[in-house]
Structure 1
Amino acid sequence: MISSWEKIIQMGFVAHDIHATMSELTEKLNVGPWFLRERGTFKRQLYCGEPTQMSLAVAMGYVAGAEMQYEIIQQLDDLPSIYGEVRKSVFGVGFHHFGIATSDFDRSVKSYRDRGFKAVYEADVPGGVRVCFFDTRTSLPGMVEFIEFSPDLNDMFESYRAASVGWQGDNPVRARPPLPASD
């Protein structure tokens, strides 16, 4: 159940080829423009409780100012990860997670732990934001990601959404700098 301090803001997909997937989602669903970071490794990452240095590319986009964000993740190495688990079972692209923004991260994470869900991935991402994924695939079609929401993150996501309003297909992929290691 979504609490008053939480909001589903994102649907995440895992892809073998992030560029081909962006192109397909733009052509078929009019998602765009995309904001792409080609490569990055977060400074602090835990996969099933163990440190990892998995690298990935991330693209985010919206459909014509809609509230739901589409996120595409391509893992760039073969290290064990939540993305690799799904990547092995899909052809091309597959649904991965629901992203839930929370203004009370610790409370949201505790509520899922208390309900018996296993935290399978945790990371500190740029901007001092924490994320935590729970394996909910026994009861949902994908995982649940809690995203620690902040004014800066909201501003970034809102700028991506605003770019989709009235977008006519020009400049469909907007490169962003590689993911920096988190502070």
Structure 2
Amino acid sequence: MPLSLGTITQTAFMTRDIRASIDHFVTNLGVGPWFMIEGGSFAECYYRGAPSKVRLTTAFAYARGMEFELMQLDNDEPSMWRDALQQPFELHSFHHWCHWPDDYTATLNEALERGYRVYQDGRTTRGRFVYLDHPALGEILEITERTPERRAFQQQVAEAGMRWDGQQKIVTDWA
């Protein structure tokens, strides 16, 4: 049985310096503008089932039919992001794939039936999320609940990416 749960809609990277990674993506890959959330926290966050008060700076951009995410850890709370920083890399490193299913709960249940395990999960003001790992894959898959608020943000990022003229690198006044 294939392990795919649906279309990959986002590719995410861990970075030690989000602004340097944004510069790289803009200059060398033509990806932008980046919608940045600095020092973000979660309404709820659990790392391997235990509460985590992790803080994260994230940035999102859209190019060529794909959303890109950059993540920079802002504190030392136990989290999958802290785990990722234990691996050697220079500027940024691939972190996870993301799938935005129409039915979050059904897709999560199907993933668990296929052998995926919850690595980290929680909720933001825009809805639930879960990061899964699978012993046979060695990769992380995020499943994100597509609430109206999250759909609106994803649409805003996509439209900005399609209109982008290469001038503005970072958008912080999008809320």
Q: TM-score, length-normalised on structure 2?
A: 0.91
Superposed CA offset, 1:67-121 (max 9, x none): 2100001010111111111122032211111010011111111112122221010
Distance 1:107 1:79 in 2: 30
Match status 1:167 vs 2:161: no
Of 152-161 and 20-29, more deviation after overlay is shown by: 152-161
- Asked if structure 1 preserves the Cα contact closer than 8 Å seen for 2:35 and 2:174, the reply is no
Query: What's the Cα RMSD here?
Result: 1.8
Helix, strand or coil: the match of 1:157? helix
Q: Which position in structure 1 is the counterpart of 2:86? A: 88
Contact 1:87 1:94 (8 Å CA) reproduced: no
* Count of paired positions: 172
Shift of 1:138: 4.1
Residues 49, 15 of structure 1: alpha-carbon distance in 2 compared, 3 angstrom cutoff: same
Which residue number corresponds to residue 112 of structure 2? 113
Retained in 2: the 8 A contact 1:103–1:150? Answer: no
Name stretches of at least 5 consecutive residues in structure 2 with no aligned partner.
none
Deviations 1:46-79 (A, max 9, x none): 000000100000100012xx22100001010111
- Equivalent of residue 76 in structure 1, options 74, 77, 87: 74
1:101 and 2:100 equivalent? Answer: yes
Deviation at 1:157, TM superposition (A): 0.9
Counterpart of 1:23? 23
User: In structure 1, how many angstroms separate the alpha carbons of the residues matched to 2:155 and 2:135?
Assistant: 29
Note closer, same or farther for the CA distance 1:46–1:109 as it changes in structure 2 (3 Å cut): same
Look up the equivalent residue of 2:28 and give its one-letter code: K
Check 1:47–1:176 CA distance in 2 against 1; reply closer, same or farther (3 A cut).
farther
Query: Could you tell me the TM-score, scaled by structure 1's length?
Result: 0.87
Pick one of 130, 133, 136 that aligns with 1:135: 133
Letter of the 2:23 counterpart: S
Report what 1:41 is aligned to.
41
Q: SS state of the match for residue 84, structure 1?
A: helix
Counting aligned pairs with the same residue, the percent is 24
Structure 1: give runs of 5+ residues left out of the alignment: 179-183
* Secondary structure in 1 matching 2:8: strand
Task: Tell me the amino acid that sits aligned with residue 152 of structure 1.
Answer: E
Structure 1 counterpart of 2:62: 62
User: In the alignment, what sits opposite 2:147?
Assistant: 150
1:177 Cα shift? 7.5
SS at match of 1:154: helix
